[in-house]
Amino acid sequence: MKRQIRKQLLGIAALIVAVAIWQFVAEYIVGRSFILPSVTDVAAAFVNLLASGTLLVDIGVSLKHFGIGLLAAIFLGVPIGILMGWFRVADHLLDPIIEILRPIPPLAWIPFAIIWFGLTAGAAGFVIFVGAFFPILTATYTAFRSVPKVYVEAGKVLGCDTSFELIRHIALPSAIPSIASGIRISMGVGWMCLVAAEMFGVSRNGLGYQLWHNYYLHQMPEVVVYMLILGFAGLIIDHIFRHYVDQRLLRWHEGEVAS
């Protein structure tokens, strides 16, 4: 307990020192808010954006875009990964298509996203889906291909006669840690794709759009505010996901018995 408290205090102290250095450099060395806004300038911009309600609207829009893309990636990436990892025929049929599409950068799909969906949440969600889909697919595929044969044989001995039963009772529980890791990676990729998609005009709202819009207006304190919000939002999303996975899905992985 003392070690954990000490670790937290050291982290807080490091943040305070970093903020103090930032303020000193911006105020007394750089001296130009356009090049490096000071902490006080950023704090004032944050208060103004929060009071106007703009910041909350943009956070909500970006989370909506992110949710659409990530959920679509999970609902498609996991089943397709299971098919390719478990059934050889599906692997042979789909692997060439996947390998051709996978190296294409997600941002290269932005023109088609705008053509197909217009400047809507669906367009931003599609770009995020493209970025998040392949890490989930790859993790699921690798996990199912790596299920130990002894597990499968034991499942057959215990009464799992069909592929569906083997997948449900043997392969899927074994693959969940790898799938969870793939989803976590895809969340980071999808968050970066979200910012880029909004910056390139897929949406007229959102954190990425406002960051680029304020840059054009030379309002650099607002730019820093949106940068920090993007960082904190990504951090919070990652922590929530890790907490849920550790407490709900992987308690058995740590030797704990679920209640």
CATH architecture of 53-254: Orthogonal Bundle (1.10)
Q: Which of 171, 182, 163 has its CA nearest to residue 147?
A: 171
Instruction: Provide, rounded to the nearest whole percent, the portion of the chain with pLDDT above 90.
Output: 7
Judge if pTM exceeds 0.85: no
130 is written with which tokens?
A: 């493209």
Query: End-to-end distance of the chain based on CA atoms, in angstroms?
Result: 25
Non-local CB neighbours of 211 within 8 Å, separated by 6+ positions:
195, 199, 223, 226, 227, 230
Give domain limits for the chain.
53-254
Whole-angstrom distance, CA of residue 116 vs CA of residue 167: 36
Mean pLDDT computed over every residue of the chain:
81
- What is the rounded (10 degree) CA torsion for 26, 28, 33, 38? 40
Distances (CA, A) of 223 to 34, 58, 207, 228, 234: 10, 13, 10, 9, 17
Contact (Cβ atoms closer than 8 angstroms) between residue 177 and residue 253: yes
pLDDT at residue 160 greater than cutoff 80: no
SS3 9: helix
Q: Is the pLDDT of residue 134 over 80?
A: yes
Q: Is the pLDDT of residue 256 over 70?
A: no
Q: Is pLDDT larger for residue 157 or for residue 108?
A: 108
Q: How confident is the model at residue 29 (pLDDT cuts 50, 70, 90)?
A: confident
209, 203 Cβ separation under 8 angstroms: yes
Residue 198, pLDDT score: 82
* Confidence at 136, pLDDT banded by 50, 70, 90: very high
Average pLDDT over residues 16-23: 83
Q: Give me the mean pLDDT over the 233-258 stretch.
A: 69
Mean pLDDT across 55-64:
88
171: Cβ contacts below 8 Å, ≥ 6 apart: 82, 86, 144, 147, 151, 152
Decide: residue 171, CB within 10 A, 0-12 exposed, 13-18 middle, 19+ buried.
Answer: buried
Give per-residue pLDDT as tens, 89-117: 888 888 888 888 888 888 888 888 888 88
pLDDT at 76 over 90: yes
Query: Of residues 255 and 140, which shows the higher confidence score?
Result: 140
Q: Confidence band (pLDDT; 50, 70, 90) for 258?
A: very low
Integer CA distances (angstroms), 198 to 187, 189, 225, in order: 16, 14, 16
